[in-house]
Structure 1
């Protein structure tokens, strides 16, 4: 029977140890922020951890794309005090420390996802949900106490939490978290392509985003993506000596599907070789599947996980997390079917996903992607032709001395702002503006939910004053923010 304490689901791990280890996981991460409040989850984590810093036990906390996690280890009494004080701080965050903590957060320079993961998710989702991991927003110095308090009140409720305990359960757990219903999460729309595409940037790495179907009772999608990662690691690290970090990440999609990103960093001068290895691994596995030795290794690893973990506890935690995020519950792993997986099964998963793949390569190492049938795509959406509307050109002096200005043209329509530049024609609808960044010395930047950004610069845009006036009238003030002033 499920166990709860003041509405928090409790999952107990077996063990006879005398000390207590706890992991308190909330189903909220950076994907649940907005452009205006990027970093609020991390700021809240810092603020509440400040309130327990004097406890003489091991403790830590982390925010990633999907979750916020607090961990502690010590005597049951001290760990219980940790959880109770932490809960009270989440209900009433010490937001008076926000300005001071902003400097610490900026110095920490933490990322919720690897840059390749963040960039590809931004291409897929734009300036919302998981795509926010790529953007800076207003910076930590742009957050307000109200942002922190509202975020805590919405997401850090008992119904959105799972507590894992190993060792004695602390007495007197109160969990005085913010009261409220389980938060509803709406998956943002995604950008898709007709055929595999590749996007380029200046990150020295290569990677690919693949949308895979829900895992089944042999976890075939996970098995396929781990096999791909293993092949890339073998070629990039152990054979080529080009990479140290080869990783993967995922975010849940619709109906149990997942967007997986596999990436490999590249040392200087090896960007082309790493792209070539990633493309070759993906296309060969999609066509032929893993070799017998690769397949045997991955199945053996999966089987080891089954015997090394407590299946009942693992399933209880998985079920609890699935419930609070609204995802389908996974069926138990069928060991007999897992052992019978064929190379063709893994090939079929990757081959089906390949037409919708979004590849990433260093901007100077994209030819190998083209050779494999990947079409170059813009990092943000472009439209086919300029719409009718009031047009604005840069002044003659700008067109004379600024090369980029010669191809630029702004169009203001009743429905949208439009910019034509060297990358194509970008459009942001008035009702899909994610935020507007003011700058003291540079342009005002209009950012769209679709991922596009349109600069409005009085020096490069005749009529910019008129459009800025219209922006101030159309866009709610809580979407405006100043360019971050804090820097490392």
Structure 2
């Protein structure tokens, strides 16, 4: 029978040990923020951890794209103090410390995932969901107490959490989290079904075939959308083999990389977006890009060697053998339930052992048409030579619509070549700009944020990833365009540029 503590689902790993290891996971992460609240989950995590910082045990907390996790290891009594303190602080966040903690967050300058993964999520999803990993939003000094409290009340509830404990469960453990609804079963203290907040799901950007983007991060990466949840876990094995191949070439063979890793985000359609990335030592960006694209295309065409497949299978079996298989499977089901995702088929070890190289080749080959590669700008050619089409970070195309037009000042058009073709157009349906990259379109109902920059520019962010600056200095009559923004865009979507970001610039 499922176990609950104060409405929180408990998974108890009954290992023969006297100490306790606890992991409290909430089904909320950076992708559940909005552009004007980017960083609120991280700010909340810092505020909460500060309240129990003096406990003499190992403690940690992490905000990822999809989850927020609190961990502790120590005596059962101390771990119990940790869990109770964390939950109490989540129920009533100490927002009076927010101003001080903003400086700590700015000093940390942390990412919820690797910058190459964040960039590829942005290209795939724009300025929503996982794409928010790439954006700064208002910065740590722009997060308000009201935003922190609202985020905590919405997401950090008993019915949106899973507690995993290895070793003794702390005696008389209390988890004072708010419950979204009173339980019909006092015995189980289980919240009513259907009360959890729902995660936003956003359409992926579509490209006519495999694509690649360039930017200034030294390294190379690829985003692959793979089927998830089959009993043989073929997609997981395929990404393992691909990472092996990249690491052998870029790190062990060429000496170009140190970090070769992956990140993933599950999607509600039963697929997972995997990003595999390799950092590049200065001057080796082309070699690393070539290593990534050749590993991907060769494995898709020919599959792995028997040795590569055997290593992936051995890793998989070792991981399975050293974990509680039943509880691991239960956690996987719970995770999918909390994230509103379809439940996959149970793992079948016999099916895993029967996987052949051609099975891995087939799943990678099927993913190639929607793959998005990444390379440092001067190394993009390594991808295009393998059939990838270079695309921009945001969608451009089509013609400027008919509407009220604004052009740069005449002096700018005389002396700046790019300004001669630049034009801003306002219509009843959208904001559009033509620049040297092409035509950018942001429908009014898809504006996800407007930043007031330190120089007075209003920077408009579209859900599709387009970013359009508007001001009286950029365009003749631009103040009228800004006034139209003020009229059309809800006040909750406006935010100031972070003073920390302005200082960096």
TM-score (structure 1 length as normaliser): 0.98
Q: Whole-Å Cα distance in 1 between the matches of residues 428 and 34 of structure 2?
A: 25
Q: Whole-Å Cα distance in 1 between the matches of residues 245 and 438 of structure 2?
A: 36
Range with greater deviation from structure 2 (171-180 or 68-77)? 171-180
Unaligned stretches of 5+ residues in structure 1: none
Q: CA deviation at 1:110?
A: 0.8
SS in 1 for 2:269: helix
SS in 2 for 1:138: coil
Residue in 2 that maps onto 1:404: 418
Residue in 2 that maps onto 1:23: 23
Matched, 1:304 2:318: yes
Unaligned stretches of 5+ residues in structure 2: 181-194
* 1:214–1:255 contact (8 Å) kept in structure 2: no
Q: Whole-Å Cα distance in 2 between the matches of residues 436 and 376 of structure 1?
A: 28
* 2:266–2:272 contact (8 Å) kept in structure 1: yes
Q: Whole-Å Cα distance in 1 between the matches of residues 351 and 489 of structure 2?
A: 55
Residue in 2 that maps onto 1:472: 486
Residue in 2 that maps onto 1:445: 459
Matched, 1:278 2:283: no
Counterparts in 2 of 1:23-172, with a 5 A limit? 23-172=23-172
Residue in 2 that maps onto 1:182: 196
SS in 2 for 1:36: helix
Q: Whole-Å Cα distance in 1 between the matches of residues 141 and 417 of structure 2?
A: 35
Q: Residue 283 of structure 2: which of 253, 261, 269 is its match?
A: 269
Q: Whole-Å Cα distance in 1 between the matches of residues 173 and 414 of structure 2?
A: 70
Residue deviations 1:229-258 (CA, integer Å, cap 9, x gap): 111111000111110101111111132101
SS in 1 for 2:499: coil
SS in 1 for 2:178: coil
Q: Whole-Å Cα distance in 1 between the matches of residues 371 and 441 of structure 2?
A: 24
Range with greater deviation from structure 2 (317-326 or 105-114)? 317-326
Residue in 2 that maps onto 1:423: 437
Residue in 1 that maps onto 2:362: 348
Matched, 1:319 2:333: yes
Q: Whole-Å Cα distance in 2 between the matches of residues 199 and 152 of structure 1?
A: 36
Residue deviations 1:457-484 (CA, integer Å, cap 9, x gap): 3222112100111111111111111110
* 2:397–2:438 contact (8 Å) kept in structure 1: yes
Q: Whole-Å Cα distance in 1 between the matches of residues 418 and 260 of structure 2?
A: 36
* 2:29–2:63 contact (8 Å) kept in structure 1: yes
Give the count of matched residue pairs: 488
Residue in 2 that maps onto 1:207: 221
SS in 1 for 2:138: coil
Q: Return structure 1 stretches of 4+ with deviation > 6 angstroms.
A: none
Q: Whole-Å Cα distance in 2 between the matches of residues 367 and 457 of structure 1?
A: 36
Counterparts in 2 of 1:383-394, with a 5 A limit? 383-394=397-408
Q: Whole-Å Cα distance in 1 between the matches of residues 173 and 317 of structure 2?
A: 37
SS in 1 for 2:331: helix
Residue in 2 that maps onto 1:240: 254
Residue deviations 1:85-107 (CA, integer Å, cap 9, x gap): 21111011001110110000110
Q: Please tell me the root mean square deviation across aligned C-alpha atoms, in Å.
A: 1.2
Residue deviations 1:351-381 (CA, integer Å, cap 9, x gap): 0000011111111111121111111111101
Matched, 1:338 2:365: no
Range with greater deviation from structure 2 (386-395 or 371-380)? 386-395
* 1:215–1:222 contact (8 Å) kept in structure 2: no
* 2:219–2:376 contact (8 Å) kept in structure 1: yes
Q: Whole-Å Cα distance in 1 between the matches of residues 14 and 301 of structure 2?
A: 44
Residue deviations 1:44-98 (CA, integer Å, cap 9, x gap): 0011111111222221111011110001112212211211121111011001110
Q: CA deviation at 1:442?
A: 5.0
TM-score (structure 2 length as normaliser): 0.95
Q: Whole-Å Cα distance in 2 between the matches of residues 52 and 313 of structure 1?
A: 29
